Protein backbone atom coordinates (compact mmCIF):
# COMPACT_ATOMS: atom_id res chain seq x y z
CA UNK A 1 0.00 0.00 0.00
CA UNK A 2 1.18 3.50 -0.80
CA UNK A 3 0.03 5.50 2.26
CA UNK A 4 -2.32 5.73 5.23
CA UNK A 5 -5.26 6.82 3.10
CA UNK A 6 -4.84 3.77 0.89
CA UNK A 7 -4.85 1.68 4.05
CA UNK A 8 -8.23 3.17 4.92
CA UNK A 9 -9.46 2.48 1.39
CA UNK A 10 -8.22 -1.12 1.73
CA UNK A 11 -10.39 -1.63 4.79
CA UNK A 12 -13.37 -0.12 2.97
CA UNK A 13 -12.70 -2.33 -0.03
CA UNK A 14 -12.62 -5.46 2.14
CA UNK A 15 -16.04 -4.51 3.47
CA UNK A 16 -17.37 -3.75 -0.01
CA UNK A 17 -16.03 -7.08 -1.30
CA UNK A 18 -17.91 -8.94 1.43
CA UNK A 19 -21.14 -7.00 0.90
CA UNK A 20 -21.04 -7.57 -2.86
CA UNK A 21 -19.97 -11.21 -2.90
CA UNK A 22 -20.88 -12.68 0.48
CA UNK A 23 -17.40 -13.89 1.41
CA UNK A 24 -14.21 -12.25 2.64
CA UNK A 25 -11.48 -11.80 0.07
CA UNK A 26 -8.31 -13.68 1.00
CA UNK A 27 -5.30 -11.61 -0.05
CA UNK A 28 -2.76 -14.04 1.45
CA UNK A 29 -3.96 -17.00 -0.58
CA UNK A 30 -6.29 -15.66 -3.29
CA UNK A 31 -8.03 -18.39 -5.25
CA UNK A 32 -11.17 -16.96 -6.84
CA UNK A 33 -11.05 -14.64 -9.83
CA UNK A 34 -12.42 -11.74 -7.78
CA UNK A 35 -9.88 -12.35 -5.01
CA UNK A 36 -7.07 -12.26 -7.55
CA UNK A 37 -8.35 -9.00 -8.98
CA UNK A 38 -8.43 -7.64 -5.42
CA UNK A 39 -4.82 -8.82 -4.96
CA UNK A 40 -3.87 -7.10 -8.23
CA UNK A 41 -5.40 -3.81 -7.07
CA UNK A 42 -3.46 -3.91 -3.80
CA UNK A 43 -0.06 -5.25 -4.91
CA UNK A 44 0.51 -5.32 -8.68
CA UNK A 45 2.19 -2.19 -10.08
CA UNK A 46 2.86 -3.45 -13.60
CA UNK A 47 3.99 -0.37 -15.59
CA UNK A 48 1.87 -1.51 -18.54
CA UNK A 49 -1.36 -1.14 -16.54
CA UNK A 50 -1.59 2.68 -16.81
CA UNK A 51 -0.72 2.53 -20.52
CA UNK A 52 -3.45 0.09 -21.55
CA UNK A 53 -5.97 1.61 -19.13
CA UNK A 54 -5.53 4.99 -20.83
CA UNK A 55 -8.02 5.10 -23.72
CA UNK A 56 -5.62 7.28 -25.70
CA UNK A 57 -2.21 5.71 -25.00
CA UNK A 58 -3.57 2.18 -25.49
CA UNK A 59 -3.89 3.00 -29.19
CA UNK A 60 -0.11 3.36 -29.49
CA UNK A 61 0.32 0.16 -27.48
CA UNK A 62 -1.90 -1.65 -29.99
CA UNK A 63 0.00 -0.12 -32.90
CA UNK A 64 3.25 -1.33 -31.35
CA UNK A 65 1.93 -4.88 -31.14
CA UNK A 66 0.15 -5.12 -34.49
CA UNK A 67 1.97 -2.58 -36.61
CA UNK A 68 0.57 0.77 -37.72
CA UNK A 69 -1.35 -0.40 -40.79
CA UNK A 70 -2.83 -3.51 -39.17
CA UNK A 71 -3.83 -1.63 -36.02
CA UNK A 72 -5.77 0.98 -37.96
CA UNK A 73 -7.89 -1.85 -39.34
CA UNK A 74 -9.20 -2.56 -35.83
CA UNK A 75 -9.11 0.81 -34.04
CA UNK A 76 -12.30 2.84 -33.73
CA UNK A 77 -11.77 6.15 -35.60
CA UNK A 78 -10.66 8.91 -33.25
CA UNK A 79 -12.19 12.31 -34.00
CA UNK A 80 -10.73 14.64 -31.37
CA UNK A 81 -8.61 14.75 -28.20
CA UNK A 82 -8.43 17.65 -25.74
CA UNK A 83 -7.92 18.63 -22.12
CA UNK A 84 -10.06 21.74 -22.65
CA UNK A 85 -13.70 20.78 -23.29
CA UNK A 86 -14.55 24.34 -24.28
CA UNK A 87 -12.42 23.84 -27.40
CA UNK A 88 -14.40 20.85 -28.73
CA UNK A 89 -15.04 21.60 -32.45
CA UNK A 90 -18.74 20.72 -32.48
CA UNK A 91 -19.32 22.20 -35.95
CA UNK A 92 -16.76 19.80 -37.43
CA UNK A 93 -18.08 16.66 -35.72
CA UNK A 94 -20.54 14.23 -37.31
CA UNK A 95 -24.13 14.09 -36.08
CA UNK A 96 -23.37 10.96 -34.09
CA UNK A 97 -20.32 10.38 -31.89
CA UNK A 98 -19.29 9.20 -28.42
CA UNK A 99 -17.37 11.35 -25.97
CA UNK A 100 -15.29 9.77 -23.18
CA UNK A 101 -12.76 10.47 -20.47
CA UNK A 102 -9.55 8.51 -21.00
CA UNK A 103 -8.82 7.94 -17.30
CA UNK A 104 -11.91 6.03 -16.19
CA UNK A 105 -14.56 3.50 -17.11
CA UNK A 106 -18.21 4.30 -17.74
CA UNK A 107 -17.53 8.01 -18.24
CA UNK A 108 -19.06 8.46 -21.66
CA UNK A 109 -21.89 10.21 -23.45
CA UNK A 110 -23.48 8.82 -26.60
CA UNK A 111 -24.59 11.53 -28.98
CA UNK A 112 -27.19 10.31 -31.47
CA UNK A 113 -30.88 10.69 -32.22
CA UNK A 114 -31.70 8.94 -28.92
CA UNK A 115 -29.41 11.10 -26.76
CA UNK A 116 -29.24 14.65 -28.05
CA UNK A 117 -27.26 16.37 -25.28
CA UNK A 118 -26.66 20.09 -25.55
CA UNK A 119 -23.18 21.42 -26.21
CA UNK A 120 -23.05 23.06 -22.79
CA UNK A 121 -24.07 19.82 -21.09
CA UNK A 122 -21.27 17.99 -22.91
CA UNK A 123 -18.74 20.65 -21.91
CA UNK A 124 -19.86 20.73 -18.27
CA UNK A 125 -19.86 16.94 -17.94
CA UNK A 126 -16.43 16.68 -19.55
CA UNK A 127 -15.00 19.29 -17.19
CA UNK A 128 -16.39 17.36 -14.23
CA UNK A 129 -14.73 14.15 -15.48
CA UNK A 130 -11.36 15.88 -15.80
CA UNK A 131 -11.47 16.94 -12.14
CA UNK A 132 -12.09 13.43 -10.83
CA UNK A 133 -9.70 10.63 -9.89
CA UNK A 134 -11.37 7.43 -11.03
CA UNK A 135 -11.99 4.83 -8.33
CA UNK A 136 -9.05 5.72 -6.12
CA UNK A 137 -11.24 4.65 -3.21
CA UNK A 138 -11.50 1.22 -4.86
CA UNK A 139 -7.70 0.98 -5.19
CA UNK A 140 -7.58 1.02 -9.00
CA UNK A 141 -4.01 2.30 -9.05
CA UNK A 142 -3.51 2.34 -12.82
CA UNK A 143 -6.01 5.16 -13.35
CA UNK A 144 -4.13 7.44 -10.95
CA UNK A 145 -1.16 7.45 -13.35
CA UNK A 146 -3.12 8.70 -16.37
CA UNK A 147 -3.22 12.34 -17.45
CA UNK A 148 -6.96 13.17 -17.71
CA UNK A 149 -8.09 13.92 -21.25
CA UNK A 150 -11.29 13.95 -23.26
CA UNK A 151 -11.55 11.92 -26.46
CA UNK A 152 -14.25 11.78 -29.09
CA UNK A 153 -14.70 8.65 -31.19
CA UNK A 154 -16.91 7.62 -34.05
CA UNK A 155 -20.11 6.07 -32.71
CA UNK A 156 -20.18 2.42 -33.72
CA UNK A 157 -23.59 0.99 -34.64
CA UNK A 158 -24.84 -2.31 -36.01
CA UNK A 159 -28.07 -1.97 -38.00
CA UNK A 160 -28.76 1.31 -36.24
CA UNK A 161 -28.17 0.02 -32.71
CA UNK A 162 -25.24 -0.12 -30.28
CA UNK A 163 -23.48 -3.40 -31.16
CA UNK A 164 -22.95 -6.42 -28.95
CA UNK A 165 -19.84 -6.19 -26.82
CA UNK A 166 -17.58 -9.28 -26.91
CA UNK A 167 -15.44 -9.35 -23.75
CA UNK A 168 -12.62 -11.88 -24.02
CA UNK A 169 -11.10 -13.02 -20.71
CA UNK A 170 -7.46 -13.72 -21.58
CA UNK A 171 -5.31 -15.60 -19.06
CA UNK A 172 -1.58 -15.96 -19.81
CA UNK A 173 -2.24 -15.30 -23.49
CA UNK A 174 -5.17 -17.71 -23.85
CA UNK A 175 -8.89 -16.94 -24.08
CA UNK A 176 -10.77 -18.93 -21.46
CA UNK A 177 -14.18 -17.24 -21.41
CA UNK A 178 -16.21 -14.72 -23.39
CA UNK A 179 -18.82 -12.50 -21.80
CA UNK A 180 -21.32 -11.04 -24.30
CA UNK A 181 -23.17 -7.84 -23.44
CA UNK A 182 -26.39 -7.08 -25.27
CA UNK A 183 -28.19 -3.72 -25.23
CA UNK A 184 -25.84 -2.09 -22.73
CA UNK A 185 -27.64 1.25 -22.79
CA UNK A 186 -31.23 -0.01 -23.05
CA UNK A 187 -32.18 -3.50 -21.85
CA UNK A 188 -28.79 -4.71 -20.60
CA UNK A 189 -28.38 -8.50 -20.76
CA UNK A 190 -25.37 -10.82 -20.55
CA UNK A 191 -24.44 -14.29 -21.70
CA UNK A 192 -21.35 -16.49 -21.32
CA UNK A 193 -19.46 -18.61 -23.83
CA UNK A 194 -16.36 -20.77 -23.72
CA UNK A 195 -13.29 -20.30 -25.92
CA UNK A 196 -14.98 -22.27 -28.73
CA UNK A 197 -18.04 -20.00 -28.59
CA UNK A 198 -20.19 -22.69 -26.99
CA UNK A 199 -22.74 -21.27 -24.61
CA UNK A 200 -22.26 -22.05 -20.95
CA UNK A 201 -24.85 -21.76 -18.22
CA UNK A 202 -25.62 -18.40 -16.69
CA UNK A 203 -22.91 -17.88 -14.09
CA UNK A 204 -23.79 -14.46 -12.74
CA UNK A 205 -26.39 -13.12 -10.34
CA UNK A 206 -26.19 -9.65 -11.87
CA UNK A 207 -28.09 -9.32 -15.16
CA UNK A 208 -30.72 -11.09 -17.23
CA UNK A 209 -29.45 -13.57 -19.80
CA UNK A 210 -29.02 -12.47 -23.37
CA UNK A 211 -30.32 -14.34 -26.41
CA UNK A 212 -28.28 -17.13 -28.00
CA UNK A 213 -25.62 -15.89 -30.41
CA UNK A 214 -24.14 -17.94 -33.24
CA UNK A 215 -20.38 -18.14 -33.63
CA UNK A 216 -19.26 -15.33 -35.98
CA UNK A 217 -17.57 -16.47 -39.18
CA UNK A 218 -14.44 -14.56 -38.18
CA UNK A 219 -14.49 -15.83 -34.57
CA UNK A 220 -11.05 -17.44 -34.80
CA UNK A 221 -9.67 -14.07 -35.92
CA UNK A 222 -11.23 -12.40 -32.88
CA UNK A 223 -9.70 -14.99 -30.55
CA UNK A 224 -6.29 -14.65 -32.19
CA UNK A 225 -6.46 -10.86 -31.86
CA UNK A 226 -7.54 -11.04 -28.21
CA UNK A 227 -4.69 -13.42 -27.39
CA UNK A 228 -2.17 -11.22 -29.22
CA UNK A 229 -3.32 -8.15 -27.28
CA UNK A 230 -3.30 -10.09 -24.01
CA UNK A 231 0.04 -11.81 -24.51
CA UNK A 232 1.97 -9.53 -22.11
CA UNK A 233 -0.39 -10.03 -19.16
CA UNK A 234 -1.24 -12.79 -16.72
CA UNK A 235 -4.81 -11.59 -17.13
CA UNK A 236 -6.54 -8.89 -19.17
CA UNK A 237 -10.02 -8.50 -20.59
CA UNK A 238 -10.07 -7.54 -24.27
CA UNK A 239 -13.31 -5.95 -25.48
CA UNK A 240 -14.34 -6.01 -29.13
CA UNK A 241 -17.21 -5.34 -31.49
CA UNK A 242 -18.00 -7.42 -34.57
CA UNK A 243 -20.03 -5.31 -36.99
CA UNK A 244 -21.01 -6.98 -40.28
CA UNK A 245 -17.89 -9.10 -40.10
CA UNK A 246 -15.55 -6.19 -39.29
CA UNK A 247 -13.74 -6.32 -35.93
CA UNK A 248 -13.16 -3.25 -33.78
CA UNK A 249 -11.19 -3.12 -30.53
CA UNK A 250 -13.12 -1.47 -27.71
CA UNK A 251 -10.66 -1.40 -24.81
CA UNK A 252 -8.32 -3.45 -22.62
CA UNK A 253 -9.55 -3.79 -19.05
CA UNK A 254 -7.29 -4.49 -16.09
CA UNK A 255 -9.82 -4.38 -13.24
CA UNK A 256 -13.16 -5.65 -14.62
CA UNK A 257 -16.06 -4.75 -12.31
CA UNK A 258 -13.36 -3.63 -9.84
CA UNK A 259 -13.08 -7.25 -8.70
CA UNK A 260 -16.60 -7.60 -7.32
CA UNK A 261 -18.67 -9.10 -10.13
CA UNK A 262 -21.22 -11.48 -8.57
CA UNK A 263 -20.32 -14.70 -10.36
CA UNK A 264 -21.68 -17.90 -8.96
CA UNK A 265 -19.10 -19.00 -6.39
CA UNK A 266 -17.96 -22.14 -8.25
CA UNK A 267 -17.49 -20.18 -11.46
CA UNK A 268 -15.58 -17.47 -9.61
CA UNK A 269 -13.11 -20.14 -8.45
CA UNK A 270 -12.99 -21.78 -11.88
CA UNK A 271 -11.98 -18.49 -13.48
CA UNK A 272 -9.45 -17.97 -10.72
CA UNK A 273 -7.87 -21.35 -11.46
CA UNK A 274 -6.77 -20.09 -14.89
CA UNK A 275 -4.74 -17.26 -13.36
CA UNK A 276 -1.30 -17.64 -11.79
CA UNK A 277 -0.43 -14.42 -10.00
CA UNK A 278 3.08 -12.96 -10.32
CA UNK A 279 5.55 -13.18 -7.47
CA UNK A 280 6.08 -9.99 -5.48
219-229 and 57-66 helices, crossing angle to 10°: 110
The CATH code belonging to domain 160-273 is 3.30.470
Burial class for 174, CB neighbours closer than 10 Å (0-12, 13-18, 19+)? middle
> What is the average pLDDT score of the chain?
92
Report, as an integer, the average pLDDT of 113-119.
83
CA-nearest of 271, 64, 104 to 178 is 271
pLDDT of residue 135: 80
CA distance linking residue 145 with residue 259, whole number of Å: 19
How do residues 46-77 score in pLDDT, each as one tens digit?
A: 999 999 999 999 999 999 999 999 999 999 99
pLDDT of residue 5: 58
33-43 and 265-273 helices, crossing angle to 10°: 60
CA 156 to chain centroid:
16
pLDDT of residue 202: 64
pLDDT at 206 over 70: no
CA distance linking residue 275 with residue 95, whole number of Å: 43
Strands 97-101 and 108-111: antiparallel
pLDDT at 236 over 90: yes
Structure confidence at residue 10 as a pLDDT band (50, 70, 90):
very high
pLDDT of residue 105: 86
How do residues 122-142 score in pLDDT, each as one tens digit?
A: 999 999 999 998 887 789 999
Q: Are 126 and 138 in contact (CB under 8 A)?
A: no
Residue with more model confidence, 13 or 203: 13
Q: Which residues contact 131 (CB under 8 A, 6 or more apart)?
A: 148
Residue with more model confidence, 205 or 249: 249
pLDDT at 1 over 60: no
Q: Are 180 and 213 in contact (CB under 8 A)?
A: yes
Amino acid sequence: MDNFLDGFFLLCEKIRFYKKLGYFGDLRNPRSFNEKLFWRKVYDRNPLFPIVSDKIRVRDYIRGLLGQEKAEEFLIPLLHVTDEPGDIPFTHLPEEFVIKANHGSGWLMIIDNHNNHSRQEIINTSKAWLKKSFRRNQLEWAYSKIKPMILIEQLMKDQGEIPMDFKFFVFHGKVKMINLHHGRFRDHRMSYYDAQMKRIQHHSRWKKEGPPVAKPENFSKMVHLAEKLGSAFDFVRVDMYNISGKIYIGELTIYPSSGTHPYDRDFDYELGSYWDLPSL
